[in-house]
Amino acid sequence: MQEFLFFLFPETRTFVNNGLLLSYKKETIERIREDKKFTDEVKDVGGIYIFIQDGIVKYIGRALPTVGLRKRILVQINAFGDEDWDMVIKDTNTEIGFYSFINNNQWYFIGALEHFLIEKIGKSYFNKRY
């Protein structure tokens, strides 16, 4: 499991064995809310985003390039109304990690990568559709 977590949360750009070229970044929800530059970097980029609270993965989602990671992340961090989810997005220490495709032409792997990560990490409370 430790090897998988290293794969899941690398510090820098990584090649996945099947040839996908991905970039990984992680920021606190507070910094994302404050720093528009951060979300501008992923405006038109497809990928996978992961909400992590107290070291526990709470949610894994995907964003197609037509929507972009920025829009998906901003929608999620402002999706108040569910008491349990509110606890995640109100916690300023919650982190959001995301894999973005360096080559946007590989966007069609997004769904498969999302399912793979959910299966490897285990179903989280907020990934109810799986």
Q: Indicate the domain borders of the chain.
A: 2-121
Question: Would you say 127 and 120 are in contact if contact means Cβ atoms under 8 Å apart?
Answer: no
Residue 55: what are its φ and ψ, rounded to 5°? 80, 5
The DSSP secondary structure of the chain, one letter per residue, reads -HHHHHHHS-SS-EE-TTS-EEEEEEEEHHHHHH-HHHHHHTTT--EEEEEEETTEEEEEEEE-TTT-HHHHHHHHHT----HHHHHHHH-TT-EEEEEEESSGGGGGGHHHHHHHHHHHH---TT-TT-
pLDDT tens-digit series, residues 5-52: 445 555 545 545 567 788 888 899 999 888 877 777 777 788 999 999
Q: Specify the CATH architecture of the domain 2-121.
A: 3-Layer(aba) Sandwich (3.40)
Q: What is the pLDDT of residues 58-102, one digit of tens each?
A: 999 999 988 888 889 989 999 999 999 999 999 999 999 988 888
What predicted TM-score, i.e. pTM, was given to this entire model? 0.81
List residues bridging with 51 in a β-sheet.
59, 96
pLDDT of residue 118: 86
pLDDT at 125: 67
Q: Which of 30-34, 52-56, 101-105, 123-127 has the lowest mean pLDDT?
A: 123-127
